[in-house]
Amino acid sequence: MTAFHINPLPPFSRRESLRRLGAGFGSLGLAAAAMDSGVFAGNGAGGFGTAAAAGPVSPLAVRPPHFAPKAKRIIQLFMPGGPSQVDTFDYKPEIARYAGQRPAEVDRKSLRNTRNGLFPSPFRFRQHGDCGRWVSDIFPRVAECVDDICFIHSMHTDIPEHAGAMLMMNLGHLQPNRPSMGSWLVYGLGTENQNLPGFVAMSPRAQPRGGQANWGSSFLPGAYTGCYVNIHEMRPESVLQDLRNNFVTHADQRRQAALLARLNRMHADQQQDAALESRISAMEMAFKMQFSVPEAFDVSGETESTLKLYGDSEYAKGCLLARRLVERGVRAVQLSLSIDGYDIAWDTGHDNIEGGHAVLARACDQGIAALIQDLKQRGLFEDTLLVWGGEFGRAPTSEGQKGRDHDHYGYTVWLAGGGVRGGMAWGATDQFGCSAVENRVHVHDLHATILHLMGLDHEQLTYRYSGRDYRLTDVHGRVIGEIVV
Amino acid sequence: MSLIRLLLIGLLTGLCGPLPLSAQQTPQELTEEQTTWFETRVRPLLAEHCFECHSSQAKTIRGGLKLDSHTAVLKGGDTGPAVVPERPDDSLLIQAIRWQGLEMPPAGKLSPQDTEVLVEWVRLGAPWPDAAAATTSERSWDFNQLRSDHWAWQPIQRPPVPTVQQAAWISSPIDAFVLSKLETQGLQPAPPASPRVLLRRLYLDLIGLPPTPAQLQEFEQAVAVDRQAAVDAAIDQLLAQPQYGERWGRFWLDVARYSDGFGGFLDAAALPHAWRYRDWVVNAFNRDLPLNEFLRLQIAGDLAAPPQPEATGFFALGPTYISDGGDPDATAQARAETLDDRVDTLTRGLLGLTVSCARCHDHKFDPVPQLDYYSLAGIFNNTQNREAPLVSAEVVQAFNDHQQQLKQLTEQIRSRREMADQQQRPLNAAETAAQKADEEMLERLQASAPPPYPVGHVLAESGTADMPLAIRGNLRKPGPIAPRRMLQILEPEAAPFTSGSGRVQLAEAIVSRRNPLTARVLVNRVWLQHFGQGLVRTPGNFGKLGQPPTHPELLDWLAAELHEGPTPWSLKHLHRLILRSSAWQMASSMNAAAFAVDADNRLLWRMNPRRMDVEAWRDALLAATGELDLAQGGPPVESLLDSPRRTLYAAVSRNGDRYVSDSFLRLFDFPLPRATSEGRGTSVVPQQSLFLMNSQFMAARSRAFAARLEREAPDDPGRIDLACRLLFGRPASDADRQLGLEFLTATGAAADSSVSQQAVSNAPAPQQPLSPWQQYAQVLLSCSEFMHIE
């Protein structure tokens, strides 16, 4: 083996090598026999792989968390472009009282455009649920779920630019040269289903700005890269590259696989090289993925009532796919909103909050609420973490007449499910919703908290690269223990 | 300006709004003024009087109290919080420095002025600017002392060649070093590899292509006569082939994090001339350009005589980050990341040192002060990237003059014609003659036009100023000025670089024989490619956190050979030394006893078996199917999977997401060219198998391979045998033949009934079906034995 054992997860430890040598390479023989008898050659709806099937060396094999997790999987509902907090979930009636004025709170150095003063939200807010949280009328379905939601109103980030701020949200760094949060999670925990990718990123039509960087693995091994699926163009068989064979029948392919397994086994036995064994099991896994992956992405088997629950928007389809994926053991899903092929959808808020935000909310409201309900119905909600939010918020002042400019001093992100207290709000912005002033939460803190909920200590989840240990949270991050159940 | 006024300004300038400073406030919210005050008044007091016993750096932390971070101060020690924000009289820290109860610091009471500073600080809520943690520490660096601390800082000295018991095994001085270690452990080296295994290994090592069946046979016969002579001849022949430079050039391109640009978001620029650097590298290896010159040109080739600017692609092809909105923080960070790429590539790539770790603070493990990072960064801060001609100014001038003449002449002809047309008349006699003369002239000029000159991405000088250290790595927080110079641990009397950017002097310092690292790092990289593992198994980190060499004397002996051997700095000389050795020529066979003692093969009791890298594997596939095109150099191939060119010529994007070739290469562990790579991994993921089973590329190779076998051998057993010789470098075994024939029969029978079979399985029929022989060929091409190098 020539692998450089520089990363903390070498494919084979020395002890493991010894054990396997001692065992005479017999243990995986079963798999080859199974192949000959066609046992694992699924027929399109086969059972889902378990961690044990991964073999000893898969970089995606399940790894124990640092401590008992509250959530086993995560769905990030990413809202690129910066949704306005004061028009969605952070109710600030004081804005109307001072409309058109520019009190000191909103006169901040880096807010780019505050000339026109405070601009009341064009939307009506109502109280909902037992908790009585205020939600704008543009999210009527999500509003029904507030008792399951924990709002963080005191988010803040480093810069008011989409590019860097989106990377900060997804990578914890302003430049694209770091691994994404999803890839960190799969690196830390592995994934439950070896026949599906561990991390799937999806969006309808446009990828979020920055594209691959948002789900890339950077210096982590390539196996942790998110697999990107465009919901709009998606065909189940095209989810992974080379998933489909156009050259031989299933029966012939099974025969090819069996012969290849025999030849590779003869070679592995003769060479007594542990690395060769892992290739045999990887081939078996690949064979099965040809059936399990299209199956996971094929919603045609869903019931009428489920399909109706989600509705027919593209984002809702993504929500349904997200449920199917986490249900099958995928560790992390990132579902970004886009409409009309715009890569920072919520940025339409510059010109027109009323039109833009209403359309965007409508595009995702029902799907998100359906996802929460559906997960609850299936008993998955308790250990699935949902994270909703964009890279920053928008200022309570107006840009032009009807729009709002970026605001990174304060914005709202909400969490739900896995280990999060529902019906609560953490932190607060000032009376106008401009800056986080109470229990401030930086993106690094959010990341630390997400990792914590998933059973990982953000200070211990490290990867040695370029001579030093890297973390998702760099040298920052504080877990918000107060919002954890 | 009074302290209070400063703070008031801080409060009113807006960053914190109308809020009072409070303990909850996150650190980075302080204004510049507040930060400056903290850094110049508060922190120095704490550092000078308290940190010795109350900080993370303290040898023993007294009273469980640390005073070196905001959290620590609020948390306090055994007797409770050190500070109650805004209430100095209730704060233990203040009581202690007033000697009320506790008496701190024990060495003597602070002056009233100093005490008042801390009181004021607590009164204001004990604000703590996180972003401005310690700059370079005030500890003094005794480099002479530090140099004796760690093997890698010590000068290279040629050690004596050890004596061994089994002297017959020694074919090269290298063997004595290897064998003496084995003998100490009571281990035996593996037997020599068989000629077939040896030749396949040699070919793949040196040119990245497998030998043909004829070459194998010839070699076997030559070995029967005189093994060493046969090996020597094969080495010489391969080192003289142009494919050698392509193979070894590629290894270097990993170090150089070579790409055709397209780093994605915020680094999206194309580098259309990158291939000029790639071809320069290949050519340098082929002509055995001495390695010191090779490095010197890559650092400052634009300033050499004669200039070889394309060599500076080593740096110029790196990422150049931008910010997309002009936010000053984002812009500064983009600049800092770009500089960091240059420093990192220079130090990890050439020196095996992780100097980048000292970007925000002193290196935690190696003797690299933060100031030294900026001494190097300053060199690149005075350097710019340019797209520039790769030929002399005269050649460019001649080309441009010629173009100018052509343009003028064309214009003259056109305007004469136009004038006549405007006046609605034919050309008169004089005009016709002039027109004819001009047209003849134009034709002559066009025929004699010099060809367009080549352009490359190169470095150029842009200034000569030292840059300040950036506090916490933030270029917007300047600290002391860092004189441009070599790392102090490597250069005892590191003189400042004052000429231009300092690159010429930097290049000299890198290849200087006083520099203990460059030669060791180079030798180690060469060893790594020949053995699959370096003598230092962390090729990019020779510092304290790297692994020590498995054979330190051998490493130094080879490094000394590079410095002062018969042909100094000759890579081909190094190859011969290594390849002639019994160590390199060992078999990779398993030895349970040795494995039990040394499973990682650190002592080299056998050759490490290896998996081909993606370049060798794809090239070998195309060679086996008879499709490989050995054309050399030129612009990159964008759709590699449809091309017969060598894998080296694939277009590669820095973000790994632009070309089909990117995802193919990455699938098989090609490094993301975002940073210098110290070696390839050997990941095993199911997607690799999906590629083998289902890709258009593999189907096409299977067809070609089956066609070749059919052409070149008369019957099925003969074709199976030829396939094994082409792919594995050995004749077919009985098992190969039996399994192959069985497969062909079964698949052939199934093909006859394929219509009914498809009907049963209800699956769509394959669009481009493979014949039984093509299916069999695909299996053989997918075998791990083919990818494996014994």
CB B347 within 8 A of CB B486: no
Q: Which residue has the higher pLDDT, B374 or A225?
A: B374
Nearest CA in chain B to A286: B686
pLDDT tens-digit readout, B452-475:
999 999 999 999 999 999 988 999
pLDDT tens-digit readout, A400-445:
788 999 999 999 999 999 999 999 999 999 999 999 999 999 999 9
Percent of chain A at pLDDT > 90 equals 62
Q: Which residue has the higher pLDDT, A3 or A451?
A: A451
pLDDT of residue A41 exceeding 70, the answer is no
In the three-class reduction of DSSP (H, G, I as helix; E, B as strand; rest coil), residue B156 is classed as coil
Closest approach of chain B CAs to the CA of A474, in angstroms?
12
Report residue A207 as tokens. Answer: 């990828």
Report residue A350 as tokens. Answer: 């510059």
Report residue A169 as tokens. Answer: 């949200």
pLDDT tens-digit readout, A194-223:
888 899 999 988 889 888 889 988 878 777
Nearest-by-Cβ selection for A267 from B599, B769, B785: B785
In 3D, which of B682, B197, B679, B750 has the Cα closest to residue A249?
B750
Tell the residue number behind the tokens 């066979």, with chain if given: B589
Closest approach of chain A CAs to the CA of B434, in angstroms?
60
Residues 223-262 of A with CB under 8 A from B: 223, 240-253, 255-257, 259-260, 262
Nearest-by-Cβ selection for B687 from A161, A241, A256: A241
Nearest CA in chain B to A228: B657
pLDDT of residue A114 exceeding 70, the answer is no
Percent of chain B at pLDDT > 90 equals 64
Residues 505-534 of B with CB under 8 A from A: 532-533
A86-95, B491-500, B529-538, B623-632, range with the lowest pLDDT: B491-500
In 3D, which of B211, B289, B279, B315 has the Cα closest to residue B648?
B279
Task: Tell me the chain A residues in contact with residue B357 when contact means C-beta distances shorter than 8 Å.
Answer: 467-468
Task: Tell me how far the alpha carbon of residue B718 is from its chain's centroid.
Answer: 45
CB A279 within 8 A of CB B684: yes
Q: How confident is the model at residue B596 (pLDDT cuts 50, 70, 90)?
A: confident
In 3D, which of A215, A247, A284 has the Cα closest to residue A29?
A284
Q: Which residue has the higher pLDDT, B79 or B619?
A: B619
Task: Tell me the chain B residues in contact with residue A250 when contact means C-beta distances shorter than 8 Å.
Answer: 761, 763
Tell the residue number behind the tokens 């006024």, with chain if given: B5
Q: What is the DSSP code string of B3-31?
A: HHHHHHHHHHTSTTTTPPP-TTS-GGG--
- Strand pairing partners for B327? none
Packing angle, helices B518-531 and B571-579, rounded to 10:
50
Task: Tell me how far the alpha carbon of residue A408 is from its chain's centroid.
Answer: 22
CB B376 within 8 A of CB B355: yes
Residues 5-24 of B with CB under 8 A from A: 13-15, 17-19, 24
B597 CB near a chain A CB, below 8 Å?
no
A225-234, B378-387, B689-698, range with the lowest pLDDT: A225-234
pLDDT at B618 (0 to 100) = 98
Average pLDDT, rounded, for chain A: 84
Query: Distance between CA B121 and CA A41 in Å, rounded?
Result: 71
- The DSSP letter of residue A442 is E
pLDDT of residue B2 exceeding 80, the answer is no
Element (H, E) at B508: helix B503-511
Nearest-by-Cβ selection for B688 from A211, A267, A282: A282
Peptide bond between residue B307 and the one before it cis (omega within 30 degrees of 0): no
pLDDT of residue A76 exceeding 90, the answer is yes
pLDDT tens-digit readout, B471-507:
889 998 888 999 999 999 999 888 999 999 999 999 9
pLDDT at A21 (0 to 100) = 33
Q: How confident is the model at residue A109 (pLDDT cuts 50, 70, 90)?
A: low
Nearest CA in chain B to A464: B545
* pTM beyond cutoff 0.80: no
pLDDT at B19 (0 to 100) = 30
Q: How confident is the model at residue A467 (pLDDT cuts 50, 70, 90)?
A: low
pLDDT at B1 (0 to 100) = 38
CA geometry: angle B485, B679, B730, nearest 5 deg: 145
Q: Which one of A112, A170, A249 makes the best mutation probe of the B interface by having the most chain B beta carbons within 10 Å?
A: A249
B90 CB near a chain A CB, below 8 Å?
no
Q: How confident is the model at residue A1 (pLDDT cuts 50, 70, 90)?
A: very low
- Strand pairing partners for A127? A134
CA geometry: angle A334, A336, A339, nearest 5 deg: 160
- The DSSP letter of residue B79 is T
Nearest CA in chain A to B681: A3
Average pLDDT, rounded, for chain B: 89
Task: Tell me the chain A residues in contact with residue B695 when contact means C-beta distances shorter than 8 Å.
Answer: 241-242
Task: Tell me the chain A residues in contact with residue B786 when contact means C-beta distances shorter than 8 Å.
Answer: none
Query: Distance between CA B476 and CA B479 in Å, rounded?
Result: 10
Q: Which residue has the higher pLDDT, B348 or B449?
A: B348
Q: How confident is the model at residue B753 (pLDDT cuts 50, 70, 90)?
A: low
Nearest CA in chain A to B593: A18
How far are the Cα atoms of A122, B249, B254, B655, B658 from residue B648, in angstroms, in the given order?
59, 9, 11, 18, 17
Peptide bond between residue B644 and the one before it cis (omega within 30 degrees of 0): no
pLDDT of residue B652 exceeding 90, the answer is yes
Task: Tell me the chain B residues in contact with residue A16 when contact means C-beta distances shorter than 8 Å.
Answer: none
Taking CB atoms and an 8 Å limit, are B683 and A11 in contact across chains?
A: yes
CB A51 within 8 A of CB A62: yes
Q: How confident is the model at residue B22 (pLDDT cuts 50, 70, 90)?
A: very low
pLDDT of residue A28 exceeding 60, the answer is no
Query: Distance between CA B285 and CA B390 in Å, rounded?
Result: 20
pLDDT of residue B597 exceeding 90, the answer is no
Residue B330, phi then psi, degrees to nearest 5: -65, -40
Task: Tell me the chain A residues in contact with residue B765 when contact means C-beta distances shorter than 8 Å.
Answer: 249
pLDDT at A207 (0 to 100) = 86
pLDDT tens-digit readout, B695-740:
999 999 999 999 999 999 999 999 999 999 999 999 999 999 999 9
CB A35 within 8 A of CB A284: yes
pLDDT tens-digit readout, B401-410:
999 999 999 9
Polymer length in residues for chain B? 790
pLDDT at B139 (0 to 100) = 58
In the three-class reduction of DSSP (H, G, I as helix; E, B as strand; rest coil), residue A33 is classed as helix
Residue B365, phi then psi, degrees to nearest 5: -125, -35
Q: Parallel, antiparallel, or unpaired for β A384-389 and A411-417?
A: antiparallel
Q: What is the mean pLDDT of residues A287-313?
A: 93
Taking CB atoms and an 8 Å limit, are A285 and B766 in contact across chains?
A: no
Taking CB atoms and an 8 Å limit, are A466 and B356 in contact across chains?
A: yes
In 3D, which of A243, A188, A179, A228 has the Cα closest to residue A59?
A188
pLDDT tens-digit readout, B127-161:
887 543 444 444 578 999 999 999 999 999 999 99
For B423, residues 6+ apart whose C-beta sits below 8 A from its C-beta are none
Report residue A370 as tokens. Answer: 């359906």
Q: What is the mean pLDDT of residues B547-564?
A: 96
Tell the residue number behind the tokens 């300047």, with chain if given: B478
pLDDT at B315 (0 to 100) = 98
Closest approach of chain A CAs to the CA of B470, in angstroms?
17
Taking CB atoms and an 8 Å limit, are A271 and B533 in contact across chains?
A: no
A407 CB near a chain B CB, below 8 Å?
no
Taking CB atoms and an 8 Å limit, are A245 and B766 in contact across chains?
A: yes
Q: What is the mean pLDDT of residues B3-26?
A: 36
pLDDT at A249 (0 to 100) = 92
pLDDT at B87 (0 to 100) = 87
Report residue A261 as tokens. Answer: 């397994």
Q: What is the mean pLDDT of residues B608-627?
A: 97
**H helix runs in A272-403, sequence order:** 274-296, 304-310, 314-327, 353-377
pLDDT at B126 (0 to 100) = 85
Q: Parallel, antiparallel, or unpaired for β A149-156 and A441-442?
A: parallel
pLDDT at A20 (0 to 100) = 35
Report the complex ipTM: 0.79
Q: What is the DSSP code string of B99-152?
A: TSSS--STT-PPPHHHHHHHHHHHHTT----GGG---S------HHHHHTTSGG
Query: Distance between CA B490 and CA B517 in Å, rounded?
Result: 8
